Structure 1
Amino acid sequence: MKDGFYITDIPKAKESSDVKAFLSVDHGKNVIDYHRSFPAYQETPLADLKELAKKLGLAGMYVKDESYRFGLNAFKVLGGSYSIGQWMAQKLGIKENELTYEKLTDPETKKKLGDLTFVTATDGNHGRGVAWTARELGQKSVVYMPKGSAEERLNNIRAEGAEASITDMNYDEAVRLANKMGDEKGWIMVQDTAWEGYEEIPRWIMQGYATMAFEATEQLGDDVPTHVFLQAGVGSLAGAVSGLLTNYYGDQKPIITIVEPNKADCIYKTAEAKDNKLHFVTGDMDTIMAGLACGEPNQIGWDVITECDEYAVSCPDWVAAEGMRVLGNTVGTDPKVISGESGAVTAGLVATVMTRPDLKWLKDELKLDKNSKVLCFSTEGDTDRQNYRRIVWDGYCSSDAQATGTYEK
């Protein structure tokens, strides 16, 4: 550890298993076909940052830009839309490979299922995706947000037709509230956090997330990445992408590293403990990476991570801010990527370790060198525009300011 950077290898299961089977290439094809059936579907761009790679001393740098996803500025809708679709499909007797937007919006579907309400807890992006999907499919949604959530994100969720509010709870407490209200009112809980007795929907959500990984493999073609960096909140996104890429690339599987903020690093802490138990982070978790401010790992995601991934890194907030500035102010003719706090932390980590001599130890641990081809996923755009400008325009949360304690959190 040095200056807030921690790394640990991810322990492997003692017994061989195949927990990533539900993220197979065949499942991935069914999921992406479902998403492609939506009228609003468009493949999000994969930014080939050739000039940045050259400047950093890498063979390649690719960033999947999810700010274009369904016009919602974030990837989360992939999981919400697929899980809601699968829940409805089960009730209707529709097979996975036959599920389409057209079938879910057929007037006969409404007659059979009646009025449904989907409930969730979110810092913003997931709730907006659930609200959008419910509206698209002619249903209702209720969304609870943790304290400190941005008003802009709340308003965006309400604009999709949801009943939404900011609570006085942290994220994990808001999840428990959403679950309680769902039980009391007969609402359907749509959450990527799994617990005993609640595993089917989180698994569908992870399958939904795999669409962006599947798209990335198609866009890369024969250009196979050597390294993939994935941010983690509860670990559902990280597990989903890890599982799909591991199944897709087989013997060519890249080195996969999980990245988290110091103040919400439950995956790192679970990996570091090496005791095969989930370890929680509690309290306010006041990181700028609101989308990653989760203290309780998803068991399903963790199981996939232990099977597929090599390293977990915990890093300071300024790394995400650095990534936002690097991606938003590109080198030469590279395309610009508008990336939010939770979206930019992986690119920020790569840029930081490749340019700072004092972090050579971390660069070496991650096995990054001139032959490395790196793939990152920018999971959100400027979903909190005020904070985005504060960071990118005004220089808030710089490495120097954090080291001297001169910026307010």
Structure 2
Amino acid sequence: RYLAQYLGIPADEMTYERLRAPENRERLRGVTLVTATDGNHGRGIAWAAKLFGIFAHVFMPKGGSPERLANIRGLGAEASFTTYNYDDTVRYASQMAQEKGWVLVQDTAFDGYTERPQWIMQGYSTLAHEAMEQYAEMPTHIFLQAGVGSLPGAITGYFAAHYGAERPVITIVEPNRADCIYRTAAANDGESHIVTGEIGSIMAGLSCGEPNPLAWEILRDYADHFVSVPEWVAAKGMRILGNPLDDDLRVVSGESGAVTTGLVAELMQNASLDYLRDAIGLTKDSRILCISTEGDTDRTNYRRVVWDGLYPSF
């Protein structure tokens, strides 16, 4: 949408072919995108920039994966680690955009910056639409992983808008080390509750300490449960998806993508969690939707978990 605005073309008249037309690619050379990322989002921005012949700067928080950084650079973007955590890296990217006239493309909102995060959330909602095209029956339960909350906010909003009170039971899942949405929900005092400092979760894509206020408004009103989990839950999900039973398909899912599967497995197998399973309403007949949002984007760590048993669940 931004590129359509930049070119002066109404969004409903913009097509992929039109964006790729030589005369428009030449005009777009004046655009430079900037974003903060722990991996996937920045890689997507770098891919789009390469596709349309524009420039991109991607900043990653300290302690990030060198392989994810290399993947972004491999698409032609300028990418580097900062000395900050994710949330401060977002602020740094915003500062660079203001100082250098770059275009910030971030999936979390803050004062004066709400339009593009809304666009990104609308894009995320297509995952729900595509899932429902494949479902013969609507799922009874949905488990969604959260970083700043934009993805689960978008998916939750989709089901709330389309199915109202008949929507599935929705559970939001975060790492213990970055559970800002869980803390905000638990406090229930109208304030955002943030996680500061170094987070260090293997779920790098969820290692965010401040909720997206746009997403939180949706999750506050329409999500049913909020769960904070330890690292080994994500590792268990990775191993389950990578080693399927019977005719199930193998899914190569990274830490942030597999955590919901790990939680579902624990809820169904761990007697000490009966209270939570019953509160959520899970039974052997439940139809459960989980969305894996990454593959083995850090192959070294993926193998450490799946091959070597990092973060065992016993």
Q: TM-score, normalised by structure 2?
A: 0.97
1:355 paired residue number: 269
Query: Helix, strand or coil: the match of 1:275?
Result: coil
Equivalences, count: 314
From 42, 45, 48, give the equivalent of 1:130.
Answer: 45
Determine which of 152, 164, 182 is the counterpart of 1:268. 182
Q: How do 1:132-151 and structure 2 match up within 5 A?
A: 132-151=47-66
1:28-48 residue CA offsets vs partner (Å, 9 max, x unmatched):
xxxxxxxxxxxxxxxxxxxxx
Does residue 163 in structure 1 map to residue 81 in structure 2? no
Letter in 1 for 2:20: T
Q: Is 1:393–2:307 an aligned residue pair?
A: yes
Other structure's SS at 2:291 match: strand
- Tell me which residue corresponds to 1:249: 163
The 5 Å alignment of 1:180-259 reads 180-220=95-135, 222-259=136-173
Aligned to 2:203: 289
Q: Gaps (5+ residues) in structure 1?
A: 1-85, 401-409
The CA deviation string for residues 191-221 of structure 1, in whole angstroms up to 9 with x for no partner, is: 111101000011111111112111101111x
Name the counterpart of 1:88. Answer: 3
Instruction: Supply the distance in 2 between the matched residues of 1:208 and 1:92 (Cα, whole angstroms).
Output: 21
TM-score, normalized by length of structure 1?
Answer: 0.75
Q: Distance in 1 between matches of 2:311 and 2:2?
A: 42
Aligned to 2:69: 154
- Aligned-residue offset at 1:177: 1.0
| Contact 2:25 2:52 (8 Å CA) reproduced | no
Check whether the contact 2:28–2:54 (CA below 8 A) recurs between aligned residues. no
The one-character-per-residue Cα deviations of 1:211-251 (angstroms, maximum 9, x if unpaired) are 2111101111x311010000000000010111112223334
For 1:188 and 1:109, locate their aligned partners in 2 and report how far apart those are by CA, in whole Å: 18
CA contact (8 A) 2:29 2:55 kept: no
Shift of 1:113: 4.4
Matches within 5 A, 1:95-134: 95-134=10-49
Query: Contact 2:59/2:79 (CA < 8 Å) preserved in 1?
Result: yes
| Coordinate RMSD, CA, aligned | 1.2
2:115 maps to amino acid: E
Alignment partners' CA distance in 2, 1:120 and 1:310: 31
**Corresponding letter in the other structure for 2:193:** H
Q: Does 1:278 align with 2:192?
A: yes
* Aligned positions of 1:327-366 closer than 5 A: 327-366=241-280
Q: What is the identity, as a one-letter code, of the residue corresponding to 2:243?
A: N
State the one-letter code of the partner of 2:258.
A
Which secondary structure does the structure 2 equivalent of 1:375 belong to? strand
Alpha-carbon distance between aligned partners in 2 of 1:113 and 1:329, rounded to the nearest angstrom: 45
Question: Larger RCO: Structure 1 or Structure 2 (Cα < 8 Å, ≥ 6 residues apart)?
Answer: 1
Q: Which residue of 358, 373, 379 maps to 2:293?
A: 379
What amino acid maps onto 2:144 in structure 1? L
Shift of 1:97: 3.3
Alignment partner, residue 3 of structure 1:
none
